[in-house]
Amino acid sequence: MSKRFLLLTLLLGGALSACTVLPERVPTDLYQLPPSSLRANSDGQTLNGLRIDTPTTSDALGGSRVLVMPGDNSFQAYPDARWSAPAALLWRDWILDAFWRDGRVSALSTSSDGLEASVELGGMLRGLHHERLGGRSQAVIRYDAQLVQTGSRRILASHRFEASEPVNGDTVGDFVAALGVAADRLATDLIEWTITSGQ
């Protein structure tokens, strides 16, 4: 009986000491892009249907880290901050919402829905980050868009879109707010171009 008690005491003591060795988990803040502020637009041309593909991206932007470029052409990640989804997926879903809010495309879907569509919007996300270059602090989005006819896989049009917005503050929240403004500006041009090119 005493041996069993001694063994249990040693095991319990080892488990408790192991727990004290582990570092405390630092909380991670999850961020998403602010909802688009675009309003319903009844002017001009419309498009019957559109499928939005998840863009390709670089390894640096492939994850969910919130990135900052400090000026030496390298990326650093904000500590303890993550996007709520991988950056490319976050961008696809945000663009989908912007199209819904604009209202001029009658049928919208994403590539993961597996639904038929005659036209697909895809491309490459080249930037979704905070740049601190030459004393400027700005939120930057760069998106190389391609509009593809799904049946023939023929490229109907391609265009590079870029938008930036000054970041007023030093927090991740300040950067995310500026990124939302830049995204709205880019989406306005992207939607017009998509509808015109998809006719």
DSSP symbol at 47: B
On whether residue 9 sits in a domain, the answer given is no
Q: At what angle do helices 87-102 and 172-197 cross, to 10 degrees?
A: 60
On whether residue 34 sits in a domain, the answer given is yes
Provide the residue range defining the domain that includes 67.
Answer: 30-197
- CA dist 34 and 85 (Å) reads 14
On whether residue 68 sits in a domain, the answer given is yes
On whether residue 43 sits in a domain, the answer given is yes
18: which residues sit within 8 A by CB, 6+ positions away? none
On whether residue 13 sits in a domain, the answer given is no
Give the tokens for residue 48.
Answer: 């019957």
Residue spans of the chain under pLDDT 50: 6-7, 10-12, 15-20
Neighbours of 53 (CB within 10 A): 17
pLDDT at residue 18, rounded to an integer: 45
pLDDT at residue 26, rounded to an integer: 60
pLDDT at residue 173, rounded to an integer: 96
On whether residue 8 sits in a domain, the answer given is no
- CA dist 124 and 34 (Å) reads 21
On whether residue 55 sits in a domain, the answer given is yes
Number of folded domains in the chain?
Answer: 1
Please write the tens of the pLDDT for every residue from 150-165: 888 899 999 999 999 9
R_g (Cα) of the chain, nearest Å: 23
Q: Give the SS3 label for residue 117.
A: coil
Please write the tens of the pLDDT for every residue from 26-40: 668 999 999 999 999
On whether residue 21 sits in a domain, the answer given is no
pLDDT at residue 4, rounded to an integer: 58
Indicate which CATH number applies to the domain containing 69.
3.40.50.10610
Q: If you search the block for the tokens 């019957």, which residue do you land on? A: 48
